[in-house]
Structure formats: structure tokens, C-alpha cells
Amino acid sequence: MKTYSGVDISGTKIIVISSDGQKVLHKRRFERTESSKKDVENISAAIHELCEHKPRAIGTSCGSPLDWKRGIVTAPLHLPTWRNVPLRNIMEKEFGCPFFIDNDTNLAALAVHHRELKAQYNNVVYMHMSTGVGGGIILNGKVHRGIDGEHPEIGHQNIRHTFESDIACPCGGLNCLEAIISGRGIRTLYKKRPEDLDTAEIHQVGVHLGRGLANIIALYNPDIIVLGGRILIERQNELLPVAKEQVQKHCHIVPTPEIKVTTMDEDMYALGAVILAQRGFDG
């Protein structure tokens, strides 16, 4: 059987799957090490183990920044030991098949679009709310890219918030959505973990989430917005009603799309990587 390999490289773990292009056949999940060289060796070993024959192609999900055109992991904030790793050259030499890599939220958006939503919508926004805030945008069925193919950073939109003073973001900007509603931002602003926020505090987070979503809707006018990430999934019953109320309050000219939380699990990034391996960047 011809198989594809999908790899998800996150801050703490690596997931490798083999797939026939539709479903997961085999999976390995292991912790990241303190060495990018050892991580790459572990990924290679897992692909050899899971793919009975040489994979038809390999797709990989990784956080920004990265040079997706040349297949180089440049300097993701959550991967301090991964600096200018020429992953495409390494893997294509090892396996003799095409290799693709892209931003993790782009591939999550692909997985949501093709697997969860069955490609029934042309324009989809996937937004992830966890340690950071990011997202992937599907326009006319394809991943949307900006100037020079750069990944749009919807978590770094400037929003009107309810705090008394400006809020600095690690990106260097002020009042970014990520600085206000991400896990990192919540710890900074509220001095507690997201799961420990009280009713008034989680309501405030929902207000800011809704204002960010309203901006996204006004700019991209998507058919549907799908939300993911640990914070959203764990506290969706408190966050979603407030966020939707804010969307209704601020969106009057463009239609309000359906807003839902994803039903996909941690494999979504690796599944998106498989779709990338199947279709390439133009698929």
C-alpha cells in the first residue's frame, strides 16, 4: 500500500502518523528532546517504522517562523534548539520522496477544511487559542498567504480592550489579541492559569475573543470559523456565548458566520500535514 507520512513538531511533543490519504494507519507520539539533531533522528526512525514501504511523500507541521519554500525550520519561539535546520534536505536525502513543511495553524485549517468539514465550505478560518493565538485561513479552498507567501498572523491584530493601559506583546507590538487572551497573556494579566480564572475574568476573556473574531469576520467574511486550542476547548461553554454576543454587537454589514469549536483531536496537525503531502502547496 502506498502511504503518506504526516509529522507534527510542537513545543513539547512530536507526532508521526502514516496514512493512506484518508485515515490514520499507524501513529507514534514521543517527547521532544533538547537536541534538534536527536529529534530529527527520532522522526526518521518513526517514519521508517510506520511506513512499510518508502512513503509517497512527507508533510510536516511546525510553528513559525520557518522558510516553508526551502523547507528550513528557522527560529520558532517554542523550539529553542531548532535554528536553521534544513529539514527538507535531510528528509528527502533519507527517504527519496517529496517533503513539504508549513505553519502548524495552516495545516490545522487544512485538516478542519478537508476532514472535519468535508470541504463543504470554500472560505474557512481556523483560530487556535492556547499558549499563543494563531490561525489559518482557507480562501476559495486553498491556504491563504500574504506578501512573499508569509503566514497571516491573526493573533497579532490590535484590538480595543477593557484594561486601563496598553498591553505589550512579545512580538514588539501593543494590544495584540495574543497578548490579551493567550495562555501566556492570561498568566501575565491575571497572574493565574486559564483554568483558574473566575467567572468575571473568563467573561472578560470572552469579550476580547469576540472582538478579535469580529475583526476577522469583517476582513475575510468567512463561511465558518472553527476554534481550537486547549483554552477554547476546556472553557468553551463560558467563552463561546460571550464571544458570539460580541460578534453580533460589532458585525452589522457582513453576514455573521457559524462559529464552532473543532471536534478534531491532537492528530489534526499531522493529518493536515498528510493533506499537504498529498496535494503540495498548490493543492
Residue 134 DSSP SS3: strand
DSSP string, 46-62: HHHHH-SS--S-EEEEE
189 vs 170: which has the higher pLDDT: 189
pLDDT of residue 22: 82
DSSP string, 8-46: EE-SSEEEEEEESSSSEEEEEEEE--S-HHHHHHHHHHH
218 vs 65: which has the higher pLDDT: 218
In angstroms, how far is the first alpha carbon of the chain from the final one?
22
Q: How confident is the model at residue 283 (pLDDT cuts 50, 70, 90)?
A: low
pLDDT of residue 116: 96
Element of type H or E holding 76: none
Distance of CA 179 to the CA centre of its chain: 17
Surface-to-core class of residue 188, CB atoms within 10 Å of its CB (0-12 exposed, 13-18 middle, 19+ buried): middle
pLDDT at 269 over 80: yes
Distance, CA of 56 to CA of 9 (rounded, Å)? 20
pLDDT at 78 over 90: no
